[in-house]
Amino acid sequence: MAARQITLAITALGDLAGGAPLTRDGARPGDVVAVRGRLGFAAAGLELLTAGRDGPAEVVAAHRRPEPPYEAGPQARELGATALLDVSDGLLQDLGHIAAASGVWIDVESAAVPVPAVLGPGGLRHALTGGEDHAFAGTFPAAAPLPPSWTRIGAVARGTGVTVDGRVQEAAGWDHFRS
């Protein structure tokens, strides 16, 4: 079989230097939820490109070439993170993975979500549901000191699921089994 495009697949392996992996299933009631990296840029860029419009160069570039904050993973471990993942399917969708794996409820405070003006009027929607920026979202003990590079956006409590300002949201983000 032949294709007009060349496909390149890469597998990367790492070493935790004897440490336990930081997974999705460690969130506990009382933890805080925090993010590091930009949210919504790639989704806003894709929306502009799909509509055939030019937009802020940094937004379009974010869709074409994401810039994950790679150092955030080891930093989260040092800060005492209890659960962690990258935001590739959308913040709410990915926090749902943590909530399901940990058996907890996560409530996101919309006013705390970082939404730069460059994202425009749909900024909060892009930040909550857009993926592919590969920011990091994690849960941390309430007493963990978060540096300014991490933004507290919510809390973990008893229950199940993810809400925004206490309200259930429509299914949003990329669901590999729905699409």
Rg of the chain's alpha carbons, rounded to an integer? 17
Domains (ranges, CATH) in the chain?
32-168 (3.90.650.10)
Q: Which two tokens stand for residue 143?
A: 């007493």
Cα–Cα dist 172/178, whole Å: 11
Asked if pLDDT for residue 177 goes beyond 70, the answer is no
Angle, nearest 10°, between helix axes 57-64 and 41-50?
A: 100
Tens-place pLDDT, residues 12-21: 888 888 888 8
Q: What is the pLDDT of residues 76-101, one digit of tens each?
A: 999 999 999 999 999 999 999 999 99
pLDDT given at position 73: 92
152 three-class SS: strand
Nearest CA among 133, 128, 94 for reference residue 111 = 128
Work out the angle at residue 134's Cα, subtended by the Cα atoms of residues 96 and 97, and round it to the nearest 5 degrees: 15
* pLDDT higher than 80, residue 115: yes
Report the alpha-carbon distance of residue 45 to residue 54 in Å, rounded: 9
| pLDDT > 70? residue 176 | no
pTM confidence score: 0.89
The pLDDT value recorded for residue 13 is 84
Q: Taking all residues of the chain, what is their mean pLDDT, rounded to a whole number?
A: 92
